[in-house]
Amino acid sequence: MSSSTGVRGQGPGTRGRRSEVKGQGTEVDYLVTSESRIPEPRTPNPESQIPKSPNPRTQDQLRATNIHKSYHKGPVEVPVLRGVDMEVRRGEFLSIVGQSGCGKSTLLHLLGTLDAPDRGEIHYDGRRIDNLPAAERDRLRNHQFGMIFQFYHLLPELNTLENVLAPLMIRHGTWSYLARRRQFKCKAKELLEMVGLGHRLKHRPRELSGGEMQRAAIARALVTKPCLLLADEPTGNLDTSTGEEIIHILRDLNDRRNLTIVMVTHDRSIARQADRIVRLVEGRIAE
């Protein structure tokens, strides 16, 4: 990764230090401020109860209680989560570790409202979210969550820059997006520079390496200034030094923007960069 990432030279143990990314442009400025206000939607839905900003009175930003989840393969039931209890405090950087197949991605998808638990409840900022109607879940994800998927889920027909812009297109709608397109592109390019992908803006996902797709997915997750980042093996396809740089970026966001991060990883040294590590064992959380 080039020095354009702005994190070169930050080794482990630099937690809390001022980053070199400061002052390099609008997007980077956003990344190093504590601003986390969410813009008003173009057509506010009076029905919507989704909190528009974190409630400071609620210490746990995210809480999962007695979560059960099984998959069904024909007549066979595959129990995966068997009573997960966990909470994530505001501004916390939490790692979830566990054996392959133990249900880490399943849990992250439930926390991100991409799937619903069979039993149990998930609360975000004091409000139950696992049973919200689909449109409210979509809005919650777009406005509050950033998600980095284990298998990236980039849209194959869009290039790197367009993939990163996609959440902003969804959030703002066509006309508002077009009116601010230049500003958004600038923001997306700066994020792609930050993850070392400024030279691959026009590449489609099939023309990127695994690590490059992963970095594009990271930029996409950050472009909406999320309040909560759910990251599934965000360094799983990266070489050690690029992986460390990505973790330094995440830690920096955690330190400076108070971005709450829940990260799944199988890499012990990566997991140790978090404030707290929990282990998923036999469908439950063991601290």
Ligand X SMILES: Nc1ncnc2c1ncn2[C@@H]1O[C@H](COP(=O)(O)OP(=O)(O)OP(=O)(O)O)[C@@H](O)[C@H]1O
SS3 of residue 183 by DSSP: helix
Q: Residues interacting with Mg ion, by CB under 5 A?
A: 105, 150
Which of 107/188 has CB closer to Mg ion?
Answer: 107
Which residue, 162 or 267, is less far from ligand X as judged by CB?
Answer: 267
**Sole window of 96-104, 137-145, 155-163, 210-218 interacting with ligand X (rule: CB under 6 A):** 96-104
Q: Among positive and negative, which fits the CA dihedral 147, 250, 91, 42?
A: negative
43 binds ligand X, rule: CB under 6 A:
no
Residue in 101, 133, 173, 210 binding ligand X, rule: CB under 6 A: 101
What is d(CA 103, CA 94) in angstroms, rounded to the nearest whole number? 16
What is the rounded distance in angstroms from the CA atom of residue 202 to the CA atom of residue 197? 10
Cβ proximity of 224 and 162 under 8 Å: no
* Single residue of 50, 64, 86, 102 touching ligand X by CB under 6 A: 102
In the shown chain, the binding pattern of residues 248 to 277 toward ligand X, with x for contact by CB under 6 A and - for none, equals ------------------x-----------
In the complex, the smallest distance separating the C-beta of residue 106 from ligand X, rounded to whole angstroms, is 3
Strand arrangement of the beta sheet that strand 228-232 belongs to: 145-148, 228-232, 260-264, 93-97, 276-281, 284-286
Q: Give the total of residues touching ligand X (CB under 6 A).
A: 14
- Taking contact as CB under 6 A, which single stretch among the options 12-20, 102-110, 179-187, 202-210 is the one that binds ligand X? 102-110
100 binds, among ligand X, Mg ion, none (CB under 5 to 8 A by kind): ligand X
Q: What angle do CA 279, 284, 287 make, to 5 degrees?
A: 40
If 0-12 CB within 10 Å is exposed, 13-18 middle and 19+ buried, where does residue 124 land? buried
**Which tokens go with 56?**
């400071």
Q: Establish if 203 lies at the interface with ligand X (CB under 6 A).
A: no
Site of interaction with ligand X (CB under 6 A): 71, 73, 78, 80, 98, 100-106, 150, 266
